[in-house]
Each structure stands twice: as structure tokens, then as C-alpha cells.
A = this chain, B = another copy of it.
Amino acid sequence: MINYKKLNRKLKSPYAIGLDIGGTKALIMITDSNGTLIYKEKVKSSGKIHRIVELINDSLFKVKIPINQIIGLGIGVPSATNSNEGIVMDAPALEWVNLNLKKELERHFDFPIYIDNDVNFAALGEKWKGTAKKSNNIFFIAIGTGVGSALILNGALVRGHSYEAGEIAYNISESDINEGIYNELGEFGVFESKISGTALSRYIDNPKQLFKMYTEDNGDVKKLINNFITQISINIVNAVNLVNPEYVVIGGGVSESMDIVLEKIQDSVNELTPVKTTIVLSSLKGDAGALGAIAYVLER
């Protein structure tokens, strides 16, 4: 058991809060200003502001940190986000459309609040404490229920002109067009439909089991996973050509089963472009987003 009172006396530095709000689960983390973990809890997700306020206050109460010792709060949300103003554009799972989450929460808290896309914060987490090892040039891909990505270039997050950078779910190829597949009205992502957890679960519900079956002699699974490798490699290659990242970090739920195909993806990428990059799997897994939110707070 950590003696928080003693810890608080010892650390005169203030604390940062990171909150990663997903579609079903929310993860809160509190660290000191060195990034040492003080508190971590996973709860059911909610789009209700008073539930978020409650979660933060309860967490601080549990570790006996007075609110005036908080330097800031970072929140990652599953939506394109105007991080300048703190506006969440569209998060259906939380029933938020053009919600100024920053403003809503500033009614309850005095410390600075930063809102960003969850994948953006996860990329910052991987840079800070993960496999991307403080690199200034990172392409982070999150493969979960859906597919998202984030870019850190010249040491900073790339959010894009309208905060939509990283939307590789919509990537498309010549054969898609020949087959008449489009990102019609933005309602679905063509690339996402090929490699997401949802896509893989069409064959079997458990990605872990699916990737395990790949080592066994199962023709259907071999074909499915080989296609997964090809699709992801092509899209990594074209991104690497464009932004020349030192690391490509693959995160998200599906990545936790991908050890077995990582080398094949690296080989394939090496073969398809002369621009060198190192492909790694996320080491922070589900913690990346909340940690990245804290990294962002501490950076300010």
C-alpha cells in the first residue's frame, strides 16, 4: 500500500490528471509532475458532465490531493476535436456533438483543461513512456473496433487544418474504386473495413485466437491474416513515404495480438519502400491515452 500522505509531503511538486474517455470505458490516471503514477482507475464511460466531474473529485479525494495542487487536466475523446477551443466535434458513443467540453468543465475546475482526440494523446503517451522512445517523428496507428492514427512530426502533434489529421480509416486504393467502393458521405472507412477488429471478428470473435490460429495450418485464417498484413503494410508504406517517421507504433486492442505478425509487416514495408522506419507495437496498451493526456499537461 502506498502511504499517500507521506508521499504528498515528500513530493512538493504538483499533480496532473489524465482522462481517456472511450466508448464504453473511461480511464483516469493521476501522476506527480515527474510522471510517477499516484492513482489509476477504470470506470464505465459516461457522456454526462456531472459524472466526469464526480470521477475527478472522487479520485482526488481518494488520494488526498487538494485541488489547488493540480497543474492541469488532459482529456482524450473518441472524436475529431478542436483542441484550441476544447470542442468535441462528434462522439456518438457519448452523445456529444460540437460540445465545448473545456468550457463545461471550467465551470467546475480552476486548473487548465486540455481536450484532444484520444489517438493523439495515445501517440503522445507512446512518445513519453512507450516504445517510440522520445522520438520526434512518430506515426501511431490504433487498431481497435475502428482504425485511427496520429502523427507527431518535428516533435509536435499534427492536428491538421480542421483537426482531422490521422483519418486513415478513409484510405482507398485503385481496386476499391474499380469495385465501386467509396467513403460515401464519410459513413464508413474503406481501409478500416479491411483491417479493424470489427473486420477481423467477422471470421472469429476473438482476435487473440485468430492470430494464434495463423501459426497453425488453417488456410482460411492464413489468407485472412496475410491480407491484413498486406493492407496494413501498403498503408504504412505510403505514410512512411510521405512523413518519414522514425517509428511506426501500432496500438489499440488488436495490436495486443499482433506480436506474431510484426516481423512480417516490417519485412513487407522494408521491401516496398527504400525509406527506412522501425515498426513497433505499443508497450503502454490501454494506458497510452491517459498517460499522453498527462504528458500534454506537463508539457504546458
Contact = CB atoms under 8 A, between A and B. Distances in A.
Given A160-B243, A164-B244, 10 more contacts: A153-B165, A161-B245, A162-B244, A162-B276, A169-B241, A174-B234, A182-B272, A183-B274, A235-B238, A242-B243
12 contacts: A136-B161, A154-B154, A154-B156, A165-B244, A166-B242, A166-B244, A167-B275, A170-B273, A170-B274, A172-B238, A172-B273, A177-B272
Interface of A: 135-137, 149, 151, 153-154, 156, 158-175, 177, 182-183, 185-186, 230-231, 234-235, 237-239, 241-246, 271-277
B274 A241 contact: no
B171 A241 contact: yes
A161 B242 CA distance: 11
Contacts of A166: 241-242, 244
Closest 8 CB pairs of A and B: A160-B244, A186-B274, A161-B246, A165-B244, A137-B161, A164-B244, A167-B241, A170-B273
Contacts of A137: 160-161
A77 B74 CA distance: 43
A211 B214 CA distance: 49
Contacts of A185: 274
Contacts of A238: 168, 171-172, 235, 238
Contacts of A171: 237-238, 241
Nearest to A245: B161
B243 A158 contact: yes
A243 B166 CA distance: 6
A237 B186 CA distance: 13
Nearest to A156: B154
Contacts of A272: 170, 172, 177, 182-183
A168 B241 contact: yes
Contact of A175 (B135, B174, B182, B274): B174
Contacts of A156: 154
A228 to B, nearest CB: 13
A182 B239 contact: no
Given A153-B153, A174-B230, A275 B241 contact: no
A223 to B, nearest CB: 14
B165 A242 contact: yes
A242 B140 CA distance: 11
Nearest to A189: B241
A174 B231 contact: yes
B151 A243 contact: yes
Given A135-B161, A242-B151, A234 B275 contact: no
Nearest to A246: B161
Nearest to A247: B161
